[in-house]
C-alpha cells in the first residue's frame, strides 16, 4: 500500500446510510445527505474537521436497486455491476458495508478474503457469535475489520462525558438518554425481523455503545422492555435499564411513537443535575451551592401540600452553562484509514463492539422473560 496515495473505499449498499456515506466521501466534507447532490454537501462549522479529499477517494458503489445506481452516476460516482466486481478491483483498499443488517456477516467475510479492509455499519453483526467469526477471519487475512459506531464523537456525548468523568456535579448516580421520534418504525427492511430490523438494532446499538464507552465497563444486570406498537414483527419502542457496579444506573429509551419530546440526556449527581434538550446541545447544569441549607416553603400539590418535594430556594442553586465542544466529524474515517495503514490504533475496537452486541443479546433475553438478567461479558 502506497502511503502517499489516496485510500480508496468502495461502498456496498446505497440506500439511506450508503448514499449518505457516498456523498460524505465524494464531497470530502463528511456530511451525509440521503440521495442528495454531492455539490450541496458543506464542510461543518468546526475548526477540528478537516477535508477528507487528500486522504480518501470514493472508488464507487454497488446496489441491487437500479434507481440508486442511476443516482450514483448522476453524481459522478462510479458504479460496479455487482459486489463480486467490486471485490475483484485490485485498486480498492476497503469496503464500506451499508446493506441490511442480515448481510453484514457474509459480505464482511467475502471482503476480508478478497484482501480488503472492512468498515461496517452498525450493528456490525446480529450476534456476538457472528462477530467472533468475522474477527477470526480478519486475523487470518491480516486485514482490519472496523465497526462504524461513530456516535462517541457527537457533541452531546462529549458534554455528558466531561460532566461524568470530571465530576463537575459530583458523583453521578443515574444517567438517562432518549432517542425520540413520532413516525413509527421505517417501512423498509428495518420493519422485517428476517433482515435484522427493529429499533434495538437500529438506534439502541448507538446509545448502548455510548454508555459502554462512557462508563468503561460492563453492566452487572440488564432489563429490557420492547414494544410493538406500529409493527407486529419488530420492536419500535425500546426501554433498557442497566445497573453497574457501585450503584450507577442508566435508563435508555428509543421511541418512535412519542409526540411530546423529552430531553435527550439527563445526568443526576450528588451535587447537581444536567440536562441536554436536543441534538443542538441546548440545556443547562444546576449545581448545589450548599447541601446543608435545604429548608423550603411548602407548595400546593394537587389537593394537598408538600414540603418534602418543594423546590430548593434559588440561593442554594447555581445555574451553569453546559460545556461546549468543537468536534471532528471525520475522526472515524481518519482513524480507520490510519489503522489500515498501520499508523494508529483502532479507536472503535471489535472487543468494544462485541460487548455492545452481548448487551443487546441480554436485552432480547430480558424482554422475552420480563425479568432482568445478570450480564456476563
The DSSP annotation for 176-200 comes to EEEEE-SS-S-SSGGG-GGGT-SHI
Whether residue 270 is contained in a domain is answered as no
Spatial separation of the C-alpha atoms in residues 95 and 114, rounded to whole Å: 10
pLDDT level of residue 170 (50, 70, 90 thresholds)? very high
Give mean pLDDT, residues 355-375. 98
Whether residue 209 is contained in a domain is answered as no
Range from 36-40, 121-125, 183-187, 228-232 that averages highest in pLDDT: 121-125
Selected residue with higher pLDDT from 315 and 358: 358
Whether residue 341 is contained in a domain is answered as no
Count of C-beta atoms within a 10 Å radius of residue 131 = 26
pLDDT level of residue 307 (50, 70, 90 thresholds)? confident
| 1 has pLDDT over 60 | no
User: How many domains would you assign to the chain?
Assistant: 1
Query: What phi, psi does 10 have (nearest 5°)?
Result: -115, 145
- Give the model's pLDDT for residue 3: 63
Spatial separation of the C-alpha atoms in residues 205 and 210, rounded to whole Å: 9
Selected residue with higher pLDDT from 298 and 86: 86
pLDDT level of residue 32 (50, 70, 90 thresholds)? confident
- Give the model's pLDDT for residue 67: 94
Whether residue 38 is contained in a domain is answered as yes
What are 206-245's pLDDT values in tens digits? 999 999 999 999 999 999 999 999 888 999 999 999 999 9
Whether residue 174 is contained in a domain is answered as no
Give the range of the structural domain holding residue 76, as residue numbers without chain letter: 7-150
Whether residue 27 is contained in a domain is answered as yes
Q: What is the mean pLDDT of the chain?
A: 93
- Give the model's pLDDT for residue 290: 80
| 374 has pLDDT over 90 | yes
Whether residue 146 is contained in a domain is answered as yes
CATH code of the domain covering residue 84 = 3.40.50.720
Percent of the chain clearing pLDDT 70 (strictly above): 99
Give mean pLDDT, residues 28-38. 81
pLDDT level of residue 2 (50, 70, 90 thresholds)? low
pLDDT level of residue 292 (50, 70, 90 thresholds)? confident
> Burial letters for 307-341: b for 16+ Cβ neighbours within 10 Å, e otherwise?
eeebeeeeebbeeeebbebebbbbbbbbbbbbbbe
Whether residue 66 is contained in a domain is answered as yes
Which residues neighbour 314 within 8 Å (Cβ) at sequence distance 6 or greater? none
Tell me the whole-structure pTM to 2 decimals: 0.94
Spatial separation of the C-alpha atoms in residues 123 and 230, rounded to whole Å: 22
Amino acid at each position: 500500500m502506497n502511503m502517499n496515495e489516496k485510500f480508496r473505499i468502495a461502498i456496498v449498499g446505497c440506500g439511506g446510510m450508503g448514499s449518505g456515506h457516498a456523498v460524505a466521501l465524494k464531497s470530502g466534507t463528511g456530511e451525509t445527505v440521503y440521495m442528495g447532490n454531492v455539490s450541496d454537501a458543506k464542510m461543518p462549522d468546526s475548526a477540528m474537521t478537516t477535508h477528507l479529499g487528500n486522504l480518501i477517494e470514493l472508488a464507487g458503489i454497488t446496489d441491487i436497486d437500479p434507481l440508486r445506481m442511476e443516482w450514483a452516476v448522476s453524481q459522478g460516482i462510479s458504479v460496479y455491476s455487482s459486489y463480486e466486481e467490486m471485490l475483484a478491483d485490485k485498486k480498492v483498499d476497503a469496503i464500506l458495508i451499508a446493506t441490511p443488517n442480515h448481510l453484514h456477516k457474509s459480505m464482511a467475510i467475502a471482503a476480508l478474503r478478497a484482501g480488503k479492509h472492512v468498515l461496517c455499519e452498525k450493528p456490525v453483526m446480529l450476534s456476538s457469535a457472528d462477530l467472533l467469526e468475522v474477527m477470526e477471519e480478519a486475523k487470518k487475512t491480516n486485514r482490519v475489520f472496523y465497526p462504524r459506531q461513530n456516535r462517541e464523537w457527537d457533541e452531546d456525548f462529549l458534554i455528558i462525558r466531561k460532566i461524568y468523568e470530571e465530576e463537575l456535579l459530583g458523583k453521578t448516580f443515574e444517567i438517562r438518554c432518549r432517542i425520540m421520534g413520532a413516525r413509527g418504525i421505517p417501512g423498509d427492511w428495518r420493519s422485517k425481523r428476517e433482515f435484522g430490523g427493529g429499533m434495538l438494532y437500529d438506534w439502541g446499538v448507538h446509545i448502548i455503545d455510548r454508555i459502554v464507552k462512557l462508563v468503561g465497563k460492563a453492566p452487572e444486570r440488564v432489563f429490557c422492555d420492547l414494544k410493538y406498537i406500529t409493527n407486529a414483527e419488530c420492536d419500535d419502542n425500546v426501554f433498557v435499564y442497566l445497573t453497574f457496579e457501585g450503584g450507577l444506573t442508566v435508563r435508555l429509551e428509543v421511541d418512535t411513537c412519542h409526540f411530546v419530546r423529552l430531553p435527550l440526556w439527563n445526568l443526576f449527581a450528588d451535587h447537581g443535575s444536567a440536562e441536554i434538550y436536543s441534538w443542538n446541545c441546548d440545556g443547562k447544569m444546576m449545581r448545589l451551592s450548599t447541601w446543608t441549607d435545604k429548608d423550603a416553603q411548602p407548595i400546593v400539590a394537587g389537593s394537598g401540600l408538600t414540603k418534602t418535594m418543594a423546590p430548593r430556594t434559588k440561593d442554594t442553586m447555581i445555574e451553569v452553562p453546559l460545556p461546549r465542544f468543537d468536534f471532528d466529524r471525520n475522526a472515524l474515517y481518519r482513524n480507520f484509514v490510519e489503522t489500515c495503514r498501520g499508523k494508529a490504533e483502532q479507536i472503535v475496537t471489535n472487543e468494544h463492539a462485541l460487548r455492545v452486541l452481548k448487551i443487546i443479546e441480554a436485552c432480547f433475553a430480558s424482554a422475552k422473560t420480563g425479568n432482568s438478567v445478570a450480564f456476563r461479558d
